[in-house]
């Protein structure tokens, strides 16, 4: 800690030990060794931090009105490291270059770099040149908002604090250095828009247009008073309501990562009591609910549970080996939306290529790592469908709803169960329509 910070800490400790007392400036200078001019600066800094300090005019008196200990102000490093943790909380793992791209995309959604896989050996200038090749105005933003060498130091410091783990592993197209959160890393999720605003206001003295854009986007997620203005993606709201956040915070207050749990759960057939090993918590924009993918030890099966339907939780002494295990993560990548099924189904659908259909299907393909997307070399005569999507999915019901949204622009080739689901759905809608016009 440098000398200036030592003086500030020395002063607040001195005032806290004499809370509510009138202390002469001369006494403070004598007891702490702080100079007269520096004392005035430090008093103003402590006021900026939120401490209520009275200094009546011409009295030479200093009085600390409240004994509450406040946290230090956020610095540039705090906000950078907080954003790095936020990125890894959302993406689970990423290369250094991906972290940079995702940080930029927080402020401007046009920065979407899906294929950045630089090895750790690439220099900072190599990364800047590559990013700049994607967007010519990017170098101005990097120079103004983002110091790549400083971010690398921030990341190294977080690794040193054992909050982030650094590994060289098989990742996407090769062997790369990737970063992920450790068990010691904090959960980053605000209770409300007010808390998000309070956090940003701490940083107000350094806030720039980039952070204002981040706050605007993030606040829409937590803005319950104006729900209709929440951000929407393909018609789905990104809004998270209070009940869901309450269920999440309640569940995560237990040691679900390390220990087995016994819970009471209200299912379709009523309340049940089961023992589980938690595997993964995820949020579905389709249903606007948090889910727990877990091992149901009582029935020896994988289960998907809604967090808001868990009524009682108790920790057990047994360890939990299932949290983010290979099996759980594999099953999660195979699930379509929030729909889980014990069976894996191969689907093959042909789409027409007009309007925003190719964009929607390509977006799905990017998210589904085991999927295939290609164009028919020889189109089928009389059929305008040419874009083929293949995938292995768990949860045909959710995939059926996705395909149904394309109407006649989607043609299901396999499996037969999916064809039957869509035919039955169409027949049901048609029957309701015919009853309505009679």
pLDDT tens-digit profile of 111-146? 444 444 444 445 666 666 666 665 555 556 565 656
Q: How far apart, in Å, are the Cα atoms of 418 and each of 264, 343, 375, 414? A: 34, 14, 22, 7
pLDDT-derived band of residue 201, with 50, 70 and 90 as boundaries?
A: low
**Residue 17 CA from chain centroid, whole number:** 41
pLDDT-derived band of residue 307, with 50, 70 and 90 as boundaries?
A: very high
Q: Which residues pair with 348 in a beta bridge?
A: 390, 414
Helix-strand-coil percent breakdown of the chain, rounded to 5? 45, 25, 30
Cβ atoms of residues 372 and 390 within 8 Å: yes
Lowest-confidence region among 58-72, 128-142, 321-335, 360-374: 128-142
Rounded Cα gap, residues 102 and 99, in angstroms: 5
pLDDT-derived band of residue 64, with 50, 70 and 90 as boundaries?
A: confident
Give all strands of the β-sheet with 259-267 in edge-to-edge order: 301-306, 289-296, 270-284, 259-267, 310-319
Domains of the chain from N-terminus onward: 3-64 (1.10.10), 76-181 (no CATH), 193-237 (no CATH), 242-334 (2.30.30), 345-435 (3.30.70)
pLDDT-derived band of residue 224, with 50, 70 and 90 as boundaries?
A: very low
Q: What is the pLDDT of residue 259?
A: 94
Region of residue 107 (phi > 0: left; psi between -120 and 50: alpha; otherwise: beta): alpha
- Across 376-419, the runs of DSSP E, i.e. the strands, are 387-393, 410-414
Return the SS3 of 207. Answer: coil
Summarize pLDDT for 69-99 with one digit per residue, the tens. 555 555 677 778 888 887 787 777 888 878 8
Summarize pLDDT for 412-430 with one digit per residue, the tens. 999 999 999 888 887 877 7
Burial class (CB in 10 A: 0-12, 13-18, 19+), 38: middle
What global pTM score does this model have? Answer: 0.49
Rounded Cα gap, residues 254 and 320, in angstroms: 13
Q: How far apart, in Å, are the Cα atoms of 151 and each of 6, 59, 99? A: 26, 47, 10
pLDDT-derived band of residue 9, with 50, 70 and 90 as boundaries?
A: confident
pLDDT-derived band of residue 284, with 50, 70 and 90 as boundaries?
A: confident
Region of residue 232 (phi > 0: left; psi between -120 and 50: alpha; otherwise: beta): beta
Q: What is the pLDDT of residue 131?
A: 60
- Across 192-309, the runs of DSSP E, i.e. the strands, are 232-233, 236-237, 259-267, 270-284, 289-296, 301-306
Rounded Cα gap, residues 37 and 44, in angstroms: 11
Computed on alpha carbons and rounded to an integer, the radius of gyration of the chain in Å comes to: 28
Q: What is the pLDDT of residue 382?
A: 78
What is the chain's mean pLDDT, rounded? 78
Q: How far apart, in Å, are the Cα atoms of 320 and each of 233, 251, 257, 294, 367? A: 36, 15, 7, 10, 29
């Amino acid at each position: 800690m440098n000398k200036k910070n030592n003086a500030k800490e020395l002063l607040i400790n001195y005032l806290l030990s004499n809370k509510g007392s009138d202390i002469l400036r001369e006494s403070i200078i004598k007891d702490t060794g702080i100079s007269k001019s520096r004392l005035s600066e430090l008093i103003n800094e402590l006021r900026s931090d939120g401490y209520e300090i009275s200094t009546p005019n011409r009295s030479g008196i200093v009085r600390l009105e409240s004994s509450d200990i406040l946290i230090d102000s956020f610095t540039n490093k705090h906000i950078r490291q907080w954003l790095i943790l936020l990125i890894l909380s959302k993406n689970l793992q990423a290369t250094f270059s991906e972290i940079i791209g995702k940080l930029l995309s927080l402020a401007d959604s046009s920065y979407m770099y899906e294929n950045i896989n630089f090895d750790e050996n690439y220099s900072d200038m190599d990364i800047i040149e590559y990013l700049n090749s994607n967007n010519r105005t990017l170098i101005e933003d990097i120079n103004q908002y983002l110091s790549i060498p400083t971010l690398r130091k921030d990341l190294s410091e977080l690794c040193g604090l054992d909050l982030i783990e650094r590994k060289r592993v098989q990742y996407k197209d090769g062997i790369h250095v990737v970063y992920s959160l450790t068990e010691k890393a904090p959960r980053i999720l605000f209770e409300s828009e007010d808390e998000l605003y309070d956090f940003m206001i701490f940083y107000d003295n350094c806030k720039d247009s980039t952070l204002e854009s981040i706050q605007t986007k993030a606040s829409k997620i937590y803005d319950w008073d104006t729900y209709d203005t929440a951000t929407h993606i393909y018609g789905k709201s990104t809004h998270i309501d209070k009940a869901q956040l309450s269920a999440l915070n309640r569940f995560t207050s237990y040691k679900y990562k390390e220990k087995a749990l016994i819970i009471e759960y209200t299912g379709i057939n009523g309340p049940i009591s089961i023992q589980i090993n938690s595997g993964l918590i995820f949020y579905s924009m389709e249903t606007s609910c948090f889910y727990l993918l877990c091992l149901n030890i009582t029935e020896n099966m994988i289960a998907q549970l809604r967090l808001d339907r868990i009524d009682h939780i108790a920790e057990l002494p047994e360890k939990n080996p299932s949290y983010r295990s290979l099996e759980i993560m594999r099953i999660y990548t195979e699930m379509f939306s929030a729909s889980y099924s014990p069976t894996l189904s191969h689907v093959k659908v042909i789409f027409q290529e007009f309007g925003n259909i190719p964009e929607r299907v390509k977006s799905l393909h990017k998210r589904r790592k085991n999927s295939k997307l290609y164009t028919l070399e020889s189109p089928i005569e009389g059929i305008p469908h040419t874009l083929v999507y293949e995938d292995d999915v768990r949860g045909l019901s959710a995939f059926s709803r996705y395909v149904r949204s394309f109407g006649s622009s989607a043609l299901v080739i396999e499996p037969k169960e999916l064809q039957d689901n869509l035919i039955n759905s169409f027949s049901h809608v048609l029957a309701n329509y015919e009853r309505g016009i009679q």
